[in-house]
């Protein structure tokens, strides 16, 4: 016991200090490994084409130039690709949140015959690979006349089993007393859902919103199959088209500039919602 009633901090053994230092070293090396590709991506986007041909490779542009970003927007319909991706992502996120929240609330709080069986069937759809559904889904879209339209890009992703599961697990943790008190005050199940359950589910909403936005933003296979024209292409397919248009040699600075433009919205969404995302994971948004 030290003077003033303060206890001395416990001394760590050399083995504990060594383990802690080793952990910091491993984490630092891992962080550098994750950040290095993004750093190279951004710096390359500001380089002149000739600088990318130098060996050994250089990490920093000298001098830096914005010509690659201007060329990315003027030599290709990059802005249209970006607008399509934003529209598709916002629509699918909205649809997933609405359908997932309503279905999850029904499976968690409402009692009806066959509830557990239906929920099990919904969960089994998560085990089916996307590629298995590709041919029948395309045949259905073709029969509806939706090929190369926004409906083909949006409608198949308006609902998903993961969102239903996520919201069900969240709503299961709502106190029963809260629902009883709301019922005494005259709240119907619908009013309880919108006025009480949904406001408390902000972390789950952010979690599903981030997952679905990134999934929609990065999806490549389905937009590639269902679109035929530049006016309907999303960013991943558009970036592939930009690279394919470079017949002889790949203009890496221009391609990296277009890729940086594609990455910025996804990073911005995650940074804006990361507080709720982490809270949702820590407070049991995906726990049973």
- Are both 180 and 245 inside the same structural domain? yes
| pLDDT at 12 exceeding the cut of 80 | no
- Are both 222 and 262 inside the same structural domain? yes
Q: What are phi and psi of 143, to 5 degrees?
A: -65, -30
- Are both 99 and 229 inside the same structural domain? yes
Per-residue pLDDT band at 140 (split at 50, 70, 90): very high
- Are both 62 and 77 inside the same structural domain? no
| pLDDT at 8 exceeding the cut of 60 | no
Residues above pLDDT 90, as percent of the chain: 35
pLDDT tens for each residue of 266-278: 888 888 877 776 6
- Are both 48 and 121 inside the same structural domain? no
Give domain status of residue 6, yes or no: no
Mean pLDDT of 141-146: 94
Give domain status of residue 245, yes or no: yes
User: Over the chain, what is the mean pLDDT?
Assistant: 85
| pLDDT at 288 exceeding the cut of 50 | no
What is the pLDDT, as a whole number, of residue 24?
87
Q: How many domains does the chain have?
A: 2
What is the pLDDT, as a whole number, of residue 86?
94
Domain that holds residue 267: 73-282
- Where does residue 28 rank: exposed (0-12), middle (13-18), buried (19+ CB within 10 A)? exposed
Give domain status of residue 126, yes or no: yes
What is the pLDDT, as a whole number, of residue 283?
57
pLDDT tens for each residue of 209-251: 988 999 999 999 999 999 988 889 999 999 998 888 887 778 8
Per-residue pLDDT band at 104 (split at 50, 70, 90): very high
What secondary structure letter does DSSP report for 227? -
CATH for 264: 1.10.3720.10
pLDDT tens for each residue of 156-205: 999 999 999 999 988 888 888 888 888 888 888 888 888 888 988 888 89
- Calpha distance 71→95 (Å, rounded): 35
pLDDT tens for each residue of 45-64: 898 888 888 888 788 888 88
- Are both 195 and 104 inside the same structural domain? yes
- Are both 60 and 197 inside the same structural domain? no
- Are both 158 and 233 inside the same structural domain? yes
Last residue of a domain, one of 26, 48, 68: 68
List own/partner pairs for 34-39 with CB under 8 A and 24 or more apart. Answer: 38/263
Cβ pair 172, 250 in contact under 8 A = no
Give domain status of residue 8, yes or no: no
Single pTM value for the model: 0.82
- Are both 164 and 63 inside the same structural domain? no
Per-residue pLDDT band at 117 (split at 50, 70, 90): very high
Give domain status of residue 172, yes or no: yes
């Amino acid at each position: 016991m030290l003077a003033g009633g303060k206890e001395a901090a416990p001394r760590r053994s050399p083995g504990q200090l060594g383990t802690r230092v080793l952990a910091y070293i491993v984490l630092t090396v891992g962080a550098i490994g994750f950040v290095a590709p993004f750093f190279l991506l951004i710096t390359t986007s500001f380089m002149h084409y000739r600088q990318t041909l130098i060996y050994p490779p250089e990490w920093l542009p000298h001098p830096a130039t914005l010509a690659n970003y201007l060329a990315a927007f003027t030599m290709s319909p990059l802005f249209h690709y970006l607008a399509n991706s934003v529209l598709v992502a916002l629509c699918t996120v909205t649809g997933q949140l609405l359908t997932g929240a309503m279905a999850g609330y029904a499976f968690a709080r409402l009692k009806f015959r066959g509830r557990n069986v239906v929920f099990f069937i919904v969960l089994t759809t998560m085990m089916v690979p996307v590629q298995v559904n590709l041919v029948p889904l395309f045949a259905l879209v073709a029969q509806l006349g939706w090929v190369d339209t926004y409906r083909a890009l949006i409608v198949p992703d308006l609902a998903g089993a993961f969102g239903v599961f996520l919201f069900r697990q969240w709503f299961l943790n709502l106190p029963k007393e809260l629902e009883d008190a709301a019922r005494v005050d005259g709240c119907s199940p619908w009013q309880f859902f919108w006025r009480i359950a949904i406001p408390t589910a902000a972390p789950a909403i952010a979690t599903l919103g981030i997952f679905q936005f990134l999934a929609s933003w990065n999806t490549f296979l389905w937009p590639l199959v269902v679109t035929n024209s530049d006016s309907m292409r999303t960013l991943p397919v558009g970036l592939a088209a930009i690279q394919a248009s470079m017949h002889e040699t790949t203009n890496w600075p221009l391609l990296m500039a277009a890729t940086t433009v594609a990455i910025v919205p996804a990073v911005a969404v995650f940074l804006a919602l990361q507080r709720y995302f982490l809270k949702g994971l820590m407070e049991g948004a995906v726990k049973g």
